[in-house]
C-alpha cells in the first residue's frame, strides 16, 4: 500500500506575509505544525524553488510547493473476523457492517477492519483500488452500521461504481436527530469539505464538493425525529454534517454536536443513531433487481424504544417497517430546500 505523493501549491498573500514557514505549510497542506516541520526538514517544501528552515518568515509573493510523500508500504493481513453476510454470489457481496468497525486499513487502524475480515474469508475480490480497498464500492463511517457493497470481480466493480456515480443505486439510512424539522420533507443541498479549523472534521464550506441529502420525517417524538435519509452524493460524513448544519445533529454524534442527552436516548458512547438500512440496485452482471434490508442493531433498537416511548417496537420483527421506513418516496416538489453555506444564509 504505497500510494502516490500529493502536492500542494500556494502563493503567500499580503495578509499572510511574515508567517513562519512551518505554520504556512500546516495551513496550506492541512497538516499539523509538527508534520509541517518534518516535511520541511526532509526537503519536501520549497519556497520559490529553494529550501528554507521552519523559522523562515514568508514574504508576499513567495511560491510554496509542499510535497507529501506516500506512507511506507504495509501489507494488509487477512484476519478471521466474523461478518454478517446478507448476500453473496460470484460477483457481489453485501455485508451488514457493525458500528465500531473501520472499513479499510489506514494509519492507526491497520487491523480489525472490514477489509482485513474480507481478505480473511478467502475467495476473489475486485483488484480495483488496491489491496487496501479489497473490492469496496463505497464506505460507511466507523460508527455507522449497515449495508455495504463489495465487488468480487473487476467487472462488478466497474459496473457498480458507474451505477453509483449515475445515482442508480438507492441508499436509504435510518437516522434519529435532535429536535424537530420544520416540515415532513427537507432537502439539504450544501457543499462539503474539510473543516478549515479542524482537518479531522468535515464542514459546509463554499469551496467544497456538491452534496445533497433528502430527509423524510417518519415520526415525531417528544425530543427527536426519526428520519429516512436519501443520499444523492456520497461525501464523507454527509448525513451527519448536513443535519448539524440545520441545527438537528444526529443523536449520539459527539463530533458534530449530537452527543449530549445520551441518557435520554439510551445510547451508550460511542454510538450514534445512523444505520444504512435499505439498499436497492440492479445486479452488476445479470441486471436483475436486488433489494436488501438490514434490521436495526440491538443498541439502536433500544434507543428507538426509549425515544419513541413505544415498548412494543422491541418485540416487533421489523420496527422500521412499522414506522413506514420502506414505503415509497414522497412525490417530488413537496419539499423544503436548504442550500448554500450557513454564512450564505
Strands 92-97 and 198-204: unpaired
DSSP helix/strand/coil, 97: strand
* Burial environment of residue 190 by CB neighbours within 10 A (0 to 12, 13 to 18, 19 or more): buried
DSSP helix/strand/coil, 280: strand
**CA–CA dist 140, 215 (Å, integer):** 18
End-to-end CA distance of the chain: 43
Which of 96, 141, 214, 253 is an active site residue? 141
Task: Check: CB of residue 267 under 8 Å from CB of residue 299.
Answer: yes
Instruction: Measure the CA angle with vertex 13, ends 8 and 16; round to 5°.
Output: 90
CA neighbor of 239 nearest in space, from 194, 207, 192, 196: 192
Q: Is 141 a catalytic residue?
A: yes
Helix ranges (H only) for 270-309 are: 298-308
DSSP for 172-217, written as a single string:
EEEEEEES--SSSEEEEE--EEEETTEEEEEEE-TTSB--EEEEEE
Residues designated catalytic:
141
Amino acid at each position: 500500500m504505497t500510494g502516490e505523493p500529493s502536492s500542494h501549491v500556494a502563493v503567500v498573500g499580503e495578509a499572510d506575509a511574515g508567517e513562519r514557514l512551518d505554520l504556512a505549510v500546516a495551513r496550506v497542506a492541512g497538516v499539523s505544525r509538527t508534520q509541517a516541520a518534518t516535511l520541511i526538514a526532509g526537503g519536501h517544501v520549497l519556497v520559490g524553488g529553494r529550501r528554507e528552515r521552519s523559522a523562515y518568515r514568508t514574504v508576499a509573493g513567495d511560491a510554496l510547493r509542499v510535497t507529501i510523500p506516500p506512507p511506507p508500504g504495509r501489507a494488509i493481513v487477512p484476519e478471521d473476523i466474523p461478518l454478517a453476510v446478507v448476500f453473496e454470489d460470484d460477483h457481489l457481496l453485501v455485508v451488514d457492517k457493525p458500528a465500531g468497525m473501520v472499513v479499510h486499513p489506514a494509519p492507526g487502524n491497520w487491523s480489525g477492519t472490514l477489509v482485513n475480515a474480507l481478505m480473511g474469508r478467502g475467495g476473489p475480490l475486485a483488484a480495483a483500488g488496491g489491496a487496501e480497498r479489497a473490492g469496496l464500492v463505497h464506505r460507511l463511517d466507523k460508527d455507522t452500521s449497515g449495508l455495504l457493497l463489495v465487488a468480487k470481480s473487476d467487472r462488478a466493480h466497474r459496473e457498480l461504481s458507474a451505477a453509483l456515480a449515475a445515482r442508480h443505486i438507492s441508499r436509504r439510512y435510518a437516522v434519529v436527530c435532535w429536535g424537530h424539522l420544520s416540515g415532513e420533507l427537507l432537502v439539504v443541498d450544501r457543499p462539503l469539505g474539510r473543516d478549515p479549523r479542524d482537518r479531522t472534521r468535515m464542514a459546509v464550506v463554499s469551496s467544497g464538493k456538491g452534496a445533497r441529502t433528502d430527509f423524510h420525517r417518519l415520526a415525531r417524538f417528544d425530543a427527536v425525529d426519526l428520519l429516512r435519509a436519501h443520499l444523492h452524493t456520497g461525501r464523507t460524513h454527509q448525513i451527519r454534517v448536513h443535519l448539524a448544519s440545520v441545527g438537528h445533529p444526529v443523536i449520539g454524534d459527539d463530533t458534530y454536536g449530537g452527543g449530549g442527552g445520551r441518557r435520554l436516548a439510551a445510547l451508550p458512547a460511542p454510538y450514534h443513531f445512523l444505520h444504512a438500512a435499505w439498499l436497492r440496485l440492479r445486479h452488476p452482471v445479470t441486471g436483475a433487481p436486488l433489494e436488501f434490508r438490514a434490521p436495526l442493531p440491538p443498541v439502536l433498537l433500544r434507543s428507538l424504544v426509549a425515544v419513541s416511548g413505544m415498548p412494543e417496537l422491541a418485540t416487533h420483527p421489523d420496527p422500521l417497517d412499522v414506522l413506514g421506513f420502506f414505503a415509497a418516496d414522497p412525490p417530488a416538489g413537496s419539499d423544503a430546500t436548504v442550500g448554500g453555506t450557513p454564512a450564505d444564509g
